[in-house]
Structure 1
Amino acid sequence: MEQLGVRALADVELLTILLGPTAGTNPTHDAAQRLLDALPLSQLAWASADELRQHPGIGPARAAAIAAAFELGRRGAWAPPKRGERVLDPRRVYELMRPLAHAEREEFHTILLDVRGRLIKTVKVAEGSLTQCPVSPRDALREPVRLGAHGIVFVHNHPSSGDPSPSADDADLTERLRTAADVVGVLARDHVIVGASGYYSFVEAGRWRR
C-alpha cells in the first residue's frame, strides 16, 4: 500500500490492518473498533501487551503487534536530546523527559548541565505514589554537586491527573530548590512538570527569574 494511502486511512482502518486476518468468528474490523471505543488512541499508544489482551478479540499475538507498532512509531518520531546537546529550551526538556508522562508513579528528576547548558546526564532523585513524591533540596542537589554540574533543571510528573499545571506545593518546592541551589553554587535554570497533556515550565510561565 502506498504511503499516501496509509496516511489517508482512519484510525480504525489502520488498526484493522495491524490486527491482521480475521480470527474465527471475531471480525478484525469489529475488534479494532471495540478496542478504540474502550481506549482512545492517546491511551492505546501507551498500553502494555498485557493490558491490551484484556479486550475482546485481542490475543497475545495481536497485543504484541499493537504494542510493538506504537513503540516503533515513537522511536522513529521522537528524538530526545543526547549527551552534549544544549537542553535549555523547556520543549527540549519535555522531549527528554516525556516518558514520565506515562509513568505509574510520581517521580522527581534533575537534569545536569555543563556551563554551556549542554546535557551531562539525568538523575532520578525520588519516586513516590500516584499523587505525591516528597523530595528534599539536599537529595535533589547531591549529584549535581558531586559531579560538578554548572546548571540543573528540575523535572517531575503528574501521573494521576495528566495535567502539568503546578500545585501550591509544587510552587513552594520550586522556591526552596532554587534557594538551596544558590547556596551551593549550582545554577537552577527551570522546573518543568510533565503530564499526559503536555508540560508546564516555570520559566515560560514567567514564574522564574533567569
Structure 2
Amino acid sequence: MRIKEMEHTQRPREKALRDGIGTLSDAELAALILSSGNKQRTVDQIAHDLVRQSKGFSRLTDMTLEELMQIDGIREAKGLQIVAALELSKRAMKARSYMFSIESPADVAVWFEMEYGVLKQEHFVCVYLDTKGKIITHKTLFKGSLNASLVHPREIFKEAFLQNAHAILLVHNHP
C-alpha cells in the first residue's frame, strides 16, 4: 500500500508528529528517512527490506553504500540518505560524549565504542582528561597488527605534557 493510500493518521510522518518519533516501528522510521518509493516499489516495501537485510538494524552501521544499493529500490541517492543519517547520529553521539566526565571504567568503554566503533586492527589510544574528568582530546598513538600493538611510554607522556592533561587513560581494543 502506498503512503498516500494509508489512512492519514497511520502515515509515519503524521504518527511521528502526533505521538513522537519513538513510537514508530523500525520500518516506519526507515520509511520516514527514505521518504519515497519508486514506480516499482512503495517506500513501505523498501523500508521493510532494509530492516530485514540489516537484521533489524543490528548490521546497519556495518553496511556499505554498495550493500545498501543491493536492496531493491535503494539506489545511490537513497543509500546516501541512510549513510548520512547514520553519520549524523554518530557525530551527535560523539559530541555528546565529550560533555560528560569519565568517572568509571564503564564510562570509558561507552566512549571508546562511540568514538572508535568496531575496529579490525589493534589500536592503542590515549585519552587525556582535565581536572574534572572531561576529555581534552584523544590520540591513537599506535596501530598494531591483528593481535599486537607496540607501545612506548615516551609518546604517551609527551602528548600528556603537550595537552596539559591532569589524567591519562590508556585504552586498546582486541579485534
- Tell whether 2:79 aligns with 1:53: no
1:86 and 1:21 map into 2 onto residues whose CA distance is 42
1:13 and 1:43 map into 2 onto residues whose CA distance is 18
Residue in structure 2 matched with residue 125 of structure 1 by the alignment:
141
1:107 Cα deviation after fit: 1.4
**More displaced, 115-124 or 36-45?**
115-124
1:12 Cα deviation after fit: 1.3
Letter in 1 for 2:53: A
1:86 touches 1:119 (CA, 8 Å); kept in 2? yes
Aligned pairs, number: 156
| Bigger proportion of residues as helix | 2
Q: Quickly say closer, same or farther: Cα 1:24–1:87, change in 2 above 3 A.
A: same
Instruction: Name the % identity.
Output: 26
The structure 2 residue matched to 1:16, chosen from 15, 19, 31, is 31
| Bigger proportion of residues as strand | 1
1:65 Cα deviation after fit: 1.1
1:1-210 matches, cutoff 5 A: 1=14, 2=17, 4-40=19-55, 41-76=57-92, 79-81=96-98, 86-97=101-112, 98-114=114-130, 117-129=133-145, 131-138=146-153, 139-144=155-160, 149-158=165-174, 160=175
Structure 1: give runs of 5+ residues left out of the alignment. Answer: 161-210
TM-score normalised by length of structure 1:
0.60
Structure 2: give runs of 5+ residues left out of the alignment. Answer: 1-13
1:133-166 alpha-carbon deviations (Å, 9 max, x no partner): 41224344442356564421111234x4xxxxxx
TM-score normalised by length of structure 2:
0.69
1:60 Cα deviation after fit: 0.8
2:65 touches 2:76 (CA, 8 Å); kept in 1? yes
Q: Quickly say closer, same or farther: Cα 1:115–1:30, change in 2 above 3 A.
A: closer
1:8-58 alpha-carbon deviations (Å, 9 max, x no partner): 221012212322222121333222222222213132145343442233321
Q: Alpha carbon RMSD of aligned pairs, Å?
A: 2.9
1:145 and 1:135 map into 2 onto residues whose CA distance is 21
1:125 and 1:37 map into 2 onto residues whose CA distance is 39
1:75-119 alpha-carbon deviations (Å, 9 max, x no partner): 44551125xx64333343234332312334331101123455443
